[in-house]
């Protein structure tokens, strides 16, 4: 009952409120991105959604437009040189993820759930199949994100995603939500430009609008 109906209702309410409340902030961030470096404001990535159906996730652009395409971030030479000045701050504070409230509003994502895997993260997708984690809406944040985030090895991340599926409830979602805020404040588990514990392939930013 909760996972099918109540959770989706909360997603619609929270994303609608988020769009209204954060509109001024979104406009400010868009202006900052435009002033900081040439290029579009947003980019999209193809991700694996519920039942492994692909969708495009929306983010703020944090990398320069001359970044080599289709190259994992951790495989770039001096990856930090490709991340814009404001992009570094956006990534550390997770502000680059804010546009995903629109993904939540249209039903491609949920506020809480397993983070959507890249379409070519076949190892993570396969691991999640064992736990039924590919059969729920992916989330803006989730149980794995407050228990290691980028530092987690793929089998560990998939297992935590499976644990979330088993424990999914309103109270557990609240725990993940407030735990995420605490993790962002502490900047826990964020690794930029490094391959850690066989970290999954990260597809470079793809522009969607100017």
Q: What does the pLDDT read at residue 195?
A: 39
Q: What does the pLDDT read at residue 161?
A: 97
Q: What does the pLDDT read at residue 81?
A: 84
Enumerate helices (H) and strands (E) in the chain, giving the number of each: 7, 5
Q: In this structure, is the dihedral angle defined by the CA atoms of residues 177, 122, 191 and 209, taken in order, positive or negative?
A: negative
Q: What does the pLDDT read at residue 200?
A: 39
Q: What does the pLDDT read at residue 187?
A: 63
Q: Beta strands 139-141 and 110-112: pairing type?
A: parallel
Angle in degrees, CA 142, 90, 7, rounded to 5: 25
Q: What does the pLDDT read at residue 23?
A: 96
| Stated pTM of the model | 0.83
Q: What does the pLDDT read at residue 102?
A: 97
Q: How many CA atoms, within 13 angstroms, populate the side-chain half-sphere of residue 129?
A: 9
Q: What does the pLDDT read at residue 185?
A: 75
Cα–Cα distance, 119 to 91 (Å, whole number): 21
Q: What does the pLDDT read at residue 203?
A: 44
| 125 touches 117 (CB < 8 A) | yes
Q: What does the pLDDT read at residue 154?
A: 92
pLDDT tens track, the chain, 210 positions: 787 789 999 999 999 999 999 999 999 999 999 999 999 999 898 999 999 999 999 999 998 888 876 555 666 778 788 899 999 999 888 899 999 999 999 999 999 999 999 998 999 999 999 999 999 999 999 999 999 866 789 999 999 999 999 999 999 999 999 998 888 777 664 555 443 333 334 444 444 444
């Amino acid at each position: 009952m909760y996972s099918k109906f109540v959770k989706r209702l909360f997603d619609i309410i929270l994303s609608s409120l988020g769009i209204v409340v954060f509109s001024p902030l979104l406009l400010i961030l868009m202006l900052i991105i435009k002033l900081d470096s040439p290029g579009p404001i947003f980019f999209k990535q193809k991700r694996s959604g519920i039942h492994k159906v692909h969708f495009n996730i929306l983010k703020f652009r944090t990398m320069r437009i001359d970044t080599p395409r289709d190259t994992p971030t951790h495989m770039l030479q001096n990856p930090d040189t490709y991340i814009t000045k404001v992009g570094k701050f956006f990534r550390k504070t997770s502000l680059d993820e804010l546009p995903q409230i629109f993904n939540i509003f249209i039903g491609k994502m949920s506020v809480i759930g397993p983070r959507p895997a890249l379409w070519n993260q076949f190892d993570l997708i396969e691991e999640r199949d064992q736990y039924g984690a590919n059969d729920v809406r992916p989330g803006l944040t989730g149980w794995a994100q407050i228990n290691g985030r980028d530092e987690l090895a793929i089998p560990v991340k998939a297992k935590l995603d499976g644990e979330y599926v088993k424990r999914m409830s309103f109270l557990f979602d609240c725990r993940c939500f407030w735990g995420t805020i605490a993790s962002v404040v502490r900047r826990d588990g964020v690794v930029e430009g490094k391959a850690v514990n066989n970290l999954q392939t990260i597809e470079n930013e793809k522009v969607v609008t100017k």
